[in-house]
Amino acid sequence: MKIGIGSDHGGYNLKELLKDYLREKAGIEVEDYGTFDSRSVDYPDFALKVARAVASGEVDRGILCCGTGIGVAITANKVPGVRAAVCSDTFSARMSREHNDANILCLGERVVGPGLALEILKVWLESEFEGGRHKRRVDKIPAVERQYIEGESVQ
Ligand code: RB5
């Protein structure tokens, strides 16, 4: 599995921590899309890079960090094919994989401490999509995207 990771300045320290864990402890290949220091930047720029990488298949899954995880999630979810979930607890992390097939995990450095963030990441990585009735639901999401992309009638 290859993971794309990114953050703004508000999530920079957490991104570095998670990147080191993935590379050194989990042995997972990681592509870092920035930011590369703690100077102030705009979170949509980095969320878009990771979201595009996930949507194109350049990486298998993504991780995005900002102060709350919210700004990067809002941005990433604008890219068709992306299912980005903000998780601040391990139950949500597991459900986001098992029920929603989330392909980007969003975390807030100002919300969760480093220990909890690592637990959330581990649970998210080991949880698998359950398919079945959840696949039927997830499969309806691209139809929603198409309504707006192609100007299909919205009911
Ligand atoms: C940056 O100050 C902060 O607004 C950003 O990291 C994030 O929390 C936005 O959602």
Instruction: Report how far ligand 1's centroid is from the alpha carbon of 69 (Å).
Output: 8
Q: Which residues of the chain have pLDDT under 70?
A: 152-155
- Kindly state whether residue 146 falls inside one of the protein's structural domains: no
Count of domains forming the chain: 1
Please choose, from the candidates 15, 135, 36, 141, the residue with its C-alpha nearest in 3D space to the C-alpha of residue 84.
141
> What's the CA gap between 134 and 7, in Å, rounded?
29
Domain that holds residue 71: 2-130
Give catalytic status of residue 9 as yes or no.
no
- Kindly state whether residue 148 falls inside one of the protein's structural domains: no
- pTM of the model as a whole: 0.96
- Kindly state whether residue 136 falls inside one of the protein's structural domains: no
- Kindly state whether residue 147 falls inside one of the protein's structural domains: no
CA dihedral sign, ordered 96, 122, 108, 82: negative
Considering the chain, what is the average pLDDT of its residues? 96
Q: Which two tokens stand for residue 38?
A: 């703690």
Q: Which two tokens stand for residue 121?
A: 């990441």
- Kindly state whether residue 67 falls inside one of the protein's structural domains: yes
- Kindly state whether residue 149 falls inside one of the protein's structural domains: no
- pLDDT score of 152: 62
Q: Residue with the nearest Cα to atom 7 of ligand 1? A: 67
Give the CATH number for residue 115.
Answer: 3.40.1400.10
CA angle 70, 93, 118 (to 5 degrees): 85
- Kindly state whether residue 12 falls inside one of the protein's structural domains: yes
